[in-house]
Copies of this chain bind each other. A is one copy, B any other.
Amino acid sequence: MKQFTSVKDVTDLRAFVNEAIRLKADPFAFQQVGKNKTLGLIFLNPSLRTRLSTQKAAANLGMNVMTMNIDKEGWALEIKDDVLMNGTTVEHIKDAAAVIGTYCNIVGLRSFPGLKNKTADYDEEILRKFIHYCKVPFISLESATLHPLQSFADLITIEEHRKSKKPKVVLTWAPHIKPLPQAVANSFAEWMSCTDVDLTITHPIGYELDRKYCGKATVLYDQDEALKKADFVYVKNWSSYTDYGKILSDGQGWMMTNKKLELTNKAKVMHCLPVRRGLELSYEVLDGPDSLIL
C-alpha cells in the first residue's frame, strides 16, 4: 500500500481488519519490521489520539518517529502553484514535502479544512500535493474530507462488538457550538458502506453529507425513527456541506441521551473524541455501560 487516505486504498478490507485484530492481540510481533525505518508525523492542526496512537504503533514496530508541528516549529506553507511568494507563507508545500520525504520512509499528515471554500477543501489540495511531492508511502492523519485511521479503528471496534451478521449502524448528527469538518462523518459513512452493516444516517435538514461517501445508506431527518433497533449508534457533529461550513441549527433535542437509547436494540454508543460533554452526548451515556468511546 503506497498511501492510506481512504477506504479505497484498502484492497481487501476483511483481511485488513482481521490483520489489525491479530496485531492488537500481539502488538510486538513485528518489532523487526521497522528497524532503521523512520516515520515522520507532520501536524498542521492539533491532535491527541492520532498523534499518540500512531507514535505508539510505530514504536511497537521498532520504527524511529519524528513528530513536527510544521506551522509552529517550521515554516508557514504556501499551497498554491505558480504564485509570487511575497506574502506570509515562507515555504512552498512542494519543497517542504519533498524534503520531508527524503528524511522519512513513511510520512503522515494532519490537515484540517478551512471550511470557507467547499471546492478547495473537497479537492484535498494539501493532501494531494503533499503525497505527490513527498514521494514516499503516506498515511492521512485526517485530511480536509476524510479521517481513515479513525474509521478503520471504528470498524475494528464494531467487528469486536457485533452480535449479528448485519448489525444496524446509525450515524447521528449532534449539536456543537463550532463549525466542525465533515471528515469523520464522511469517512465513517464511507467505511460502513464497504462493510456488511445496515447503515442509517440521521441529521437535521441541511446537514446532508456528500452522497459519494454514503453508498446505500438510509438518510432520515427523524432521529427517533433512525435510532429504532440500532445496534450501534455513532454520534458526531459536523457543519453543513450544502451551506458550506455553516451551523444551521442549535440542535435542540439532538443530544444523545439514555432516553433516546431506549429506542435502540441496546445499542453500543461510539464517538471519535474529543467530545463536548452535555452538548453532543449526555454524561450518563458517555459514562454508561454501553459506551465504547474508549
List residues of A whose CB falls within 8 A of some B CB: 28, 36, 38, 40, 43, 46-49, 51-53, 55-56, 59-60, 64, 66, 68-70, 72-75, 78, 81-86, 90-92, 94-96, 98-100, 102-104, 177, 273-279, 283, 286-287, 293-294
Contact = CB atoms under 8 A, between A and B. Distances in A.
Contact of A66 (B56, B273, B283): B56
Secondary structure of the A side of the interface?
mixed
A96 B66 contact: no
Given A48-B68, A91-B48, A91-B273, A278 B82 contact: yes
Nearest to A293: B95
A99 B278 contact: no
A146 to B, nearest CB: 20
5 contacts: A47-B73, A48-B73, A69-B73, A95-B277, A95-B293
A177 B86 contact: yes
Residue in A28, A81, A274, A294 whose Cβ sees the most chain B Cβ within 10 Å:
A274
Contact of A95 (B47, B82, B94, B275): B275
B48 A74 contact: yes
B73 A46 contact: yes
A48 B101 CA distance: 12
A281 to B, nearest CB: 10
Contact of A103 (B52, B83, B277): B52
Given A273-B95, A278-B83, A48 B75 contact: yes
Given A28-B36, A52-B103, A64-B59, A277 B46 contact: no
B103 A53 contact: yes
A94 B47 CA distance: 17
B56 A38 contact: yes
A95 B72 CA distance: 26
Contacts of A294: 95, 98-99, 102
Contact of A82 (B72, B98, B283): B283
Contacts of A52: 40, 66, 68, 99-100, 103-104
